[in-house]
Each structure stands twice: as structure tokens, then as C-alpha cells.
Amino acid sequence: MPEVHNIPETPGTSEAAVVVDGFGLHGGAPVRVVVRRCDGPVRIGKDGLEARIDQFQTVSTERATTVEANGGALRIATVEHALAALAGLGIYEGLILVVAGPEMPLLDGGASVWCDAISRLAVAPTGPRLRVVREAEIAVGASRYELAPNGGTIDLEVCLELQDVRVNPVARWHGDKEDFRRRIAPARTFATAADIQDLARRGLARHVDPASVVVLAEDAIHSSGRPFSPDEPARHKLLDLMGDLYLRGGPPFGRIRALRPGHAASALAHELALNQGTLVPI
């Protein structure tokens, strides 16, 4: 089970931190992340190096999002759930996450543990760094992203294509932080039975708590710990999308509807929207 505990404030300073312990989803190695208050934009550090979120580049999207900075010297995998928590809570300044391990820990399979850890530090939320300024439709392979201005609000929607009548394919979020914590953050990672067998053959996904993953098998849906909700896969895909958008200052003010989103497609669509002037910095 994941563990979260505080580092007490140092007398005479404003330092405070929360330690998050768990295991990586893919490699199965133990991981520790120290989340600490600090001045300036949110940063991620590892092995004595650190970089601002906007300095990271997505370099791999195989089953998760892996990012690099500092010319590749700083590389961290499976960042999307932690970044989704930051996005959902509106935290763009005031924190650094220092990682000891090759990837972020899986924890509860969603973002609830990250939300609890971040909230303990009482960092003030701020607004997104981007805004949608014109309508556009961006296709990346089988994925499609529809963007439109929407005043000063956030409107994010995903629609899956699982061909599974047991799953409600649509989830939506309107930018409310408490709604994110209550409804989106608890949505767990999901996989098909074939995916799990493939990971096992490759020696991956060791030490994964069954309660943190929903397995969609042909004859049953396996959900340990708490009941499965039909829209949980869509809510988790929405969570993943939020984490991927956070790397460039999102989710933005405006409306984004993502059909069949994936890590690679979301990263490329976001870059195209920035290059085309559909998304602009605030």
C-alpha cells in the first residue's frame, strides 16, 4: 500500500514537505517522491537535477508518459497521474517534486493519493497558463481533438471507443477542484486481461496492488477494494489527458473534446495547437 507522511517544518523557515512512497507500475521498483513547498513554478527533480515543468519534453508514451529535461540527463516515467493532480488542484507554482526512482509510483492507480499529499502543503492555487482562442479540430491517427473558446472557464471531455457495452465511454470536467478530487482523481488505471498477461510475460507491473487497477476481461470486470463504475475508464482517460496537458500549462481555459485520446496523440495535438495559434499563453 502507498504511504504518505509529513516532514515537519524546519524552525525559522517556511520549509515543509510530504513524502510519498510506493512502487512503479511498470518496473515494480520502490519509489519515493518528496513533495516540497518552494518558490517559483512547479518543478521536478531527480539525482541532484531539476527543471521547470515547461522545460520537460515528452519522449515516450508506451503505456505511460515519460519526460526528459536537461538534455536527457533528467528522465522520469509515468508522470501523468501526479501531473493530473496538480492540474486538477490548480497548482502551477510553489512546489517541487523530487523523485528517487525511475518512475512515479502507481499508488492508488489514480490521483487521489497525490491530491492528499499536495493538499497537505496548503499551496495556493492559480489559473492555467493557456487559453483556447479559436475553433479547431486536430486529428492524430485515430484520435481527434476539438477545441473552442469558452470564456474564462475550463471544459474538458473525453469519449472512448472500447466496444464494451459495460463501459460508459464519456467523462467531462468543468474545472472545479473539489469535483476533481471527489470524482476524477479516484478513477483507477484500467487494462484488458490481455494487457495484464503481456505485462506479466515481460516482467513488468510487479508489486501492483490489485485494488489500484481495474481489469476488463471478457467474462467479468475485476475490481478489488471498491466497486467498479461504468464511467471509471473514461474518467481515468480524462485524468490522463489532464496530466498530459499540464506539461504545457493546461488544461487551458476553453473547451477541449478528445475522442479516443492517448498519451502520444494528446502530446502531439497539444503541440500542434500551440504551433497553430489555437492555444496561446496567458
41 Cβ contact partners less than 8 Å away, ≥ 6 residues apart:
52, 53, 54, 92, 93
Alpha-carbon distances, residue 118 vs 6, 39, 205 (angstroms): 11, 15, 25
Radius of gyration of the chain (CA): 18
Considering the chain, what is the average pLDDT of its residues? 89
Read off the pLDDT of each residue in 223-231 and give the average, rounded to a whole number. 89
Provide the residue type at 46 as one letter.
K
**3-119, superfamily in CATH?**
lpxc deacetylase, domain 1 (3.30.230.20)
Distance, in Å, from the CA atom of 161 to the CA atom of 157, rounded to the nearest integer, reads: 14
Instruction: Give CATH for domain 130-281.
Output: 3.30.1700.10
Estimate to the nearest angstrom the gap between the alpha carbon of 257 and the chain centroid. Answer: 17
Cis upstream peptide for 251 (omega within 30°): yes
Give the model's pLDDT for residue 148. 98
Domain with CATH 3.30.230.20 in the chain: 3-119
Cell of 48: 541532484
Residue 7 has pLDDT above 60, yes or no: no
**Which run of H or E residues covers position 195?**
helix 193-201
Count H helices, E strands: the chain?
6, 19
Distance, in Å, from the CA atom of 282 to the CA atom of 254, rounded to the nearest integer, reads: 12
Domain with CATH 3.30.1700.10 in the chain: 130-281
Residue 20 has pLDDT above 70, yes or no: yes
- Report percent pLDDT > 70 for the chain: 91
